[in-house]
Amino acid sequence: MQQRSKVDTPYKTCTWWDGYANTVVFISYSWDDEDHKNWVLNLTKRLFETGVKVILDRYKLKPGNNMLHFMDTAIPKDDKVLITFTPN
């Protein structure tokens, strides 16, 4: 049985399987506020520490590039897509 890790969030606790090492995950998130963007950045760091390769616009999208084109080309290449929501 795989061991699970937990991440505490202001919204709820989420869990992912540690067995996703070397998996490429695209994270889609809203830019509602700085707290949420920082939460996503911390989640990205924690996933990276467990061996998950994360595609995140803050790392990969260059200023002036088209965000929709970035998403359209990145998502088909990735193993998983993680979407985060806020109450807004």
Tell me the per-residue pLDDT of 4-58, one tens digit each, with 9 for 90 and over.
445 554 444 455 555 666 788 888 888 888 888 898 999 888 888 888 888 887 7
All structural domains of the chain with their residue ranges: 21-83
Q: 21-83 belongs to which CATH class?
A: alpha beta
Whether this model's pTM surpasses 0.75 = no
CB neighbour list of residue 54: distance below 8 Å, 6 or more residues apart: 24, 25, 26, 27, 44, 47, 48
